[in-house]
Structure 1
Amino acid sequence: MYPALTAAIAPLNLRSCLISRRGRLEFEHYRDSATAREIAKINSCTKSILSALLCIALDRELLPGPETLASEFFPTLASSDDRRKRKITLEHLLTMTAGFEWTEFGGRNSFPRMTRSPNWVRFVLEQPLADEPGKRMEYNSGISQLLSSILTQASGMTAARFAEMRLFGPLGIEEYEWESDPQGIYAGGFGMRLRPMDMLKFGQLYLRNGRWENRSLIPEELVARSVRTAALSEDPRPGGYGWHWWTGSYSPEPDRSSCRRLDYFYARGYGGQFIYVVPAADAVVVLTKDQGKRQKPIDVFREFIAPELASRLDPEELGLFTKPKENE
């Protein structure tokens, strides 16, 4: 059904490329037969799975509302000399707008310094603030570790056990791996291994607004809130950000002042790991690739898949996007 896509991805050495539409698997590519059965690192896609677990905990009233101060779980914030730290809420953590001074990519490399420390949570809490909470989004895997700790405290079990009971079990995800920190808190921002087909199941859950086989795993209103743009990220990863989900749009007519667009949200992991959810197209797309630093990667979704999905929709099914006038 996608002959042009088959030819386009042939030289890219992807581990997998899966496209599901209307609940049916329409495209399935693996680098080799073993890849379909193997679990592999999904890196920061782990963050979106953590988001789902936190939404489940909110629904079950294990967690208080997003406006709750993070100091309820980390008392050292309440006694911090920097009064701004006392204002950090769960919402700030979910949207990565807590204000911590953090360099995930390049520079001082906060992320590897965290993973080399004896206590990841303490390392994050001790970082100074660069901004007032809520002012600016700064991509920060340390914040995800705080959220994993919060889930552990609130649920009384590890994040992995909670996932098995409330998410993986219902989805039929039977095999996975997940790294943890020296205190046994599972990595909130990375470290999970899944099969491509299980990544597709997770995306399908969100496409169906939190329902799986006529059962609600996550309330529709929390799904909607978690994938709604709450902040904008700057380079090197520009885009919209919700509750540990990225948001974006594709326009088949980018040079026109008023055109249609295809909105989507997605989980993104280092090295080419993606789960895209495209509601207007009733589609889920999974892309996985091997790790390693290479030349700037091709955006497979926007270059090859989004145009295919957009071409199969009526104009009325695409959202309307109007560019601002030059004097606005």
Structure 2
Amino acid sequence: MMEQTNLHLSRSQPELQGIPSSAVNAFLNAVQERQLELHSVMLLRHGHVVAEGWWAPYASDITHMLFSLSKSFTSTAIGLAASEGKLSLDDTVVSFFPEDAPEEIEPHLSAMRIRHLLMMGTGHDEDTTNKMTQSEDGNWAKAFLHLSVLHEPGTHFVYNSGATYMLSAILQKVTGQTLLDYLQPRLFEPLGIKGAIWESCPKGINVGGWGLNVTTEDIAKFGQLYLQKGVWHDRRLLPEGWVEEATSKQISNGDGGENDWAQGYGYQFWRCRHGLYRGDGAFGQFCIVMPEQDAVLAITSGSNDMQGIMNAVWDHLLPAMESSPLAADLDAEAQLADRLKGLALQIPRLQPDSPLEAGISGNKYMLEDNEQQWQSISLTFEDNQAVAVLSKMDQENRIIFGRGDWEEATTRLLQDEDKRVASSFTWEKDTLQLTMRYIETPFAFTMLLQFEGDKISLNLKGNVFPDMPGMQGRIAELAKE
């Protein structure tokens, strides 16, 4: 049985590892001032966690959707499979799919190799994901192979989640296992990563380029493994040569400058300014590895300003890392510890109640046809809660909203499967605000409801998506007239 010490990262004070607590506080100040919606942060130095925090209602034991940070885990599986002799990075892509390849294979497709998938240098002119996922027969690999390859592979960078899916499909071909199952004994179990889930395509292949959910500490462990060049507790999990190759620049993706998406691309890892590298995912999911500083930073977020998040790291954390331990600063350490424990996203608390509640409570409003396919909404107000029942496609979703506080539940309202939400409500004059945070994802939504006689209007706003079209409705009995 694996020793328990292998499953958790050790903890230490920032100053003992050469980082002033005041620098971490300055980073948190910058995040707050720039209104960057972080959900969690974990900073490692010399293998120790020196700062960690979750903005309530997000919490340490809740997995978070990684989006494209999943790609770095997919790449790792390919590195492992190559080390086991199951494939070579120079194997051609079409060789794994003879039944799905076009009858006439164009030269650029014929020349496409696994390493081109890894470096996002497939030769396509645009991301293949939409056309691949919209294939009517659900055969994504076949759809990928039938798209035109306009450039010589290895010469043209296009960020392409379809390429990462193909890595997952190839891995399943050569191992007979899904990406998740293959990584379980080789990566997840040794690192103590439990409860990981990965979205699959209609053919049962993990999608690879997105869809992985793990905790913040799991992200940090993954980064620490790469920082340690593939060794974990004196056991080699990844070949050192793979780590070096995967995190080095394999293809140019821009002209550098101050853009952290133009510093070069490795094997599903981005090069950063300051000699760093990272895996990242949409809306601010980060695993930043800092080899010279011997540090790792894991972040989950719900933000459209990913460069802004990195700028806060470069401005406040990176330059503060010293090579030797610092003198203890008990006041700063205590201030930081209290702040990290008390992190929370602001709960909307504008107006605790409204005289409108009595007239609304118990009413069911039928909604006109709308994009979300919501059919009706009813509201019931109690002392500390509002209970909303929304019907969608004849399926009722009952959500409890805390009065100026979070209530946790699960719902299928905006997803096709049960998702955990933390929900609260408040009033602003005559407008009811219902806020839902999907705490396993970057997403949060606020419903703004206005009532005029027997009519209701509903607008839906997201934290990272544009506002959705509004909806109109009437009390159920009157809507039938």
The residue type equivalent to 1:3 in the other structure is: N
User: Which residue is 2:168 aligned to?
Assistant: 148
Query: Which structure is higher in RCO with an 8 Å CA cutoff and minimum separation 6?
Result: 1
Which one of the candidate residues 281, 302, 324 is aligned to 2:311? Answer: 302
Q: Does 1:179 align with 2:188?
A: no
**Structure 1 vs Structure 2 CA RMSD:** 2.0
The CA deviation at 1:176 is 1.4
Q: Does 1:131 align with 2:143?
A: no
Q: Relative to 1, partners in 2 of residues 1:80 and 1:94: Cα closer, same or farther, differing over 3 Å?
A: farther
Trace 1:79-158 onto structure 2 (pairs within 5 A): 79-102=103-126, 104=127, 110-117=128-135, 118-158=138-178
User: Which residue is 2:331 aligned to?
Assistant: none
User: Which residue is 2:321 aligned to?
Assistant: 312
Deviations 1:42-82 (A, max 9, x none): 0001100011111111111111x212222221225585341
Q: Relative to 1, partners in 2 of residues 1:244 and 1:80: Cα closer, same or farther, differing over 3 Å?
A: farther
Q: Is the 8 A contact 1:78 1:85 kept in 2?
A: no
SS in 2 for 1:280: coil
Q: Is the 8 A contact 1:247 1:265 kept in 2?
A: yes
TM-score (norm 1): 0.83
Q: Which runs of 5+ in 2 are unaligned?
A: 1-20, 324-481
Q: Does 1:68 align with 2:91?
A: yes
Deviating 4+ runs (over 6 angstroms): none
The residue type equivalent to 1:15 in the other structure is: H
Q: Rg bigger for which structure?
A: 2
Trace 1:161-176 onto structure 2 (pairs within 5 A): 161-176=181-196
Counting helix residues as a fraction of each chain, which structure ranks higher? 1
Trace 1:161-310 onto structure 2 (pairs within 5 A): 161-234=181-254, 237-250=261-274, 263-290=275-302, 294=304, 296-305=305-314, 307-310=316-319
SS in 2 for 1:72: helix
SS in 1 for 2:292: helix
The residue type equivalent to 1:180 in the other structure is: S
For 1:78 and 1:93, the matched residues in 2 are separated by 18
The CA deviation at 1:139 is 0.7
Q: Relative to 1, partners in 2 of residues 1:4 and 1:133: Cα closer, same or farther, differing over 3 Å?
A: same
Q: Which runs of 5+ in 1 are unaligned?
A: 105-109, 251-262, 315-328
Q: Is the 8 A contact 1:233 1:241 kept in 2?
A: yes
Q: Is the 8 A contact 1:80 1:86 kept in 2?
A: no
User: Which residue is 2:7 aligned to?
Assistant: none
SS in 1 for 2:109: helix
The residue type equivalent to 1:69 in the other structure is: T
SS in 1 for 2:158: coil
For 2:287 and 2:219, the matched residues in 1 are separated by 7
Deviations 1:95-117 (A, max 9, x none): 11110232x4xxxxx43332232
Q: Relative to 1, partners in 2 of residues 1:267 and 1:138: Cα closer, same or farther, differing over 3 Å?
A: same
The residue type equivalent to 2:31 in the other structure is: I
For 1:306 and 1:55, the matched residues in 2 are separated by 33
Deviations 1:287-313 (A, max 9, x none): 11126xx5x455222333454223324
The CA deviation at 1:23 is 0.8
The CA deviation at 1:159 is 1.0
Counting strand residues as a fraction of each chain, which structure ranks higher? 2
